[in-house]
Amino acid sequence: MIAYVIRRVFQSFVVLLVVGLVAFSMFRFVGDPIDNMLGQERTQADVERLRTTLGLDQPFPVQYAKFLANAAQGNFGVSYRQGRPVATIISERAPATLELALVSGTLALVVGIGLGVFTAIRRNGVASNVIMTTSLIGVSLPTFLIGILLIYVFSVSLGWLPSFGRGETTQIGGWSTGFLTASGLKALILPSITLGLYQMTLIMRLVRSEMLEVLRQDYIRFARARGLRERSVNFRHALKNTMVPVITVVGLQLGAIIAFAIITETVFQWPGVGLLFINAIQFVDIPVMAAYLMLISVMFVGINLIVDLLYFAIDPRLRIDGRHA
């Protein structure tokens, strides 16, 4: 098992190195950093000085190593557009995205698993069929349309909830939170539903199909034949076995929430990292793009690793042979 963990950590590391190379190549070759940083009025001496300060006169591998070392310390350079360190900008924006992702992730997980289990147990019920049909439409809807629809109904028509921004935020240390004010909480509602809905339907459909599969298994029949209560059969025996295959996808879906936050943040003008990234693409702000790529890769690779390790916690069969079944 330890060998397996080491191998997985090593693999994750390689992936990060490759992504780092992509980010660095973007940084180095897309457009000329010197052009981007110096204005029109510049002397050859300015250019040379900046080349040396930026280390652009050194061999490629050295530059790459330096880039990685800087990135590891959270130093991603200076935004072309805002002229401020990327790390500072991102750390200002991160709380907004993380709070949004946390709320919608929880929503997607709790409601998704709940509805999945419900529709699997009440397989032929009317409510299950209604939920399943609705979810098929939900999967087909583009996220931004859901957001616009919610804004139209709850902001424009009913005027109940705000359609953009975070509302009032409270500063706690370096973290600005919207959880502590009524307007902050209200502002969270529509964006988190928009962001969570797609993941929720996916998780629900997956949990349902896996659970139906598990409920057909012999050990479930055997548990029934032993006279265990339905509750115990469904939740103690079936649900745990359902979770083994579900965990991978759920883990990845939660990661995807951060990525899909880009869309939601644009619809609701939510001042998070996603909106920052989309603006960076629009204005070709390479350092911001590169930093975002690096951060999100670390996150995805980290989630993948955690998901793999979680298997060990939940499935005893893997603890023995240390390989995927």
Partner 1 sequence: MSDAAHEPSRLAKMLDSDFAYKFRTSPVAMVSTAVTLLLVLAAIFAPLIAPLDPFNPASLNLMNGFTPPSTPNQFTGESFLLGTDDQGRDVYSTILYGMRISLFVGFAAVAFAMVLGISLGLIAGYVGGWTETIIMRIADVQLTFPSILVAMLITGVAKGFTPVEYRDSMAIIVLIVAIGLSDWVQFARVVRGSTLVEKNKEYVQAARLIGRSPFTIMLKHILPNVLSPVLVIATISLALAIIAEATLSFLGVGAPPTQPSLGTLIRIGQGYLYSGEWWILFFPAVTLLALALAVNLLGDWLRDALNPKLR
Partner 2 sequence: MSQPVLSVRDLIVEIPTRHGLLKPVDGVSYDISPGEILGVVGESGAGKSMTGNAVIGLLDRPARIASGGIYLNGERIDNLSLAQLRRYRGKQIGMVFQDPLTSLNPLLPIGDQLTETIQEHLGVSGGEAHNRAVAALDEVGIPAAKERIGSYPHEFSGGMRQRVVIALALCAEPSLLIADEPTTALDVSVQAQITSLLKRLCRERGMAVMLVTHDMGVIAETADRVAVMYAGKLAELGPVREVITSPRHPYTDGLMGSTPLASKGKRRLHQIPGNMPRLGQLPDGCAFHPRCPYTQDRCKADPGPRLKTCDGRAACWFPLDGAQAAKGVA
Q: Which partner in partner 2, partner 1, none is near 270 (CB below 5 to 8 A by kind)?
A: none
323 binds partner 2 per the rule CB under 8 A: no
Task: Say how many residues touch partner 2, by CB under 8 A.
Answer: 24
What's the gap between Cα 162 and its chain centre? 24
Nearest Cα residue to 220 out of 206, 205, 203, 239: 239
15 binds partner 1 per the rule CB under 8 A: yes
Residues 238-267 that bind partner 2 (CB under 8 A): 240-241, 244
Residues 293-322 that bind partner 1 (CB under 8 A): 293, 296-297, 300-301, 304
Q: Which partner in partner 2, partner 1, none is near 282 (CB below 5 to 8 A by kind)?
A: partner 1
219 binds partner 2 per the rule CB under 8 A: yes
Helices (H) and strands (E) in the chain, counts: 14, 2
- 235: helix, strand or coil: helix
| Non-local CB neighbours of 85 within 8 Å, separated by 6+ positions | 75, 76, 77, 78, 79
Nearest Cα residue to 202 out of 118, 117, 139: 139
Q: Which partner in partner 1, partner 2, none is near 252 (CB below 5 to 8 A by kind)?
A: partner 1
217 binds partner 2 per the rule CB under 8 A: yes
Stretch that binds partner 1, among 38-46, 106-114, 210-218, 259-267 (CB under 8 A): 259-267
- 137: helix, strand or coil: helix
| Non-local CB neighbours of 108 within 8 Å, separated by 6+ positions | 196, 197, 199, 200, 203, 253, 254, 257
Stretch that binds partner 1, among 46-54, 68-76, 89-97, 258-266 (CB under 8 A): 258-266
Residues lying near partner 2 in the complex (CB under 8 A) are found at 217-219, 221-230, 232, 236-237, 240-241, 244, 314-317, 320
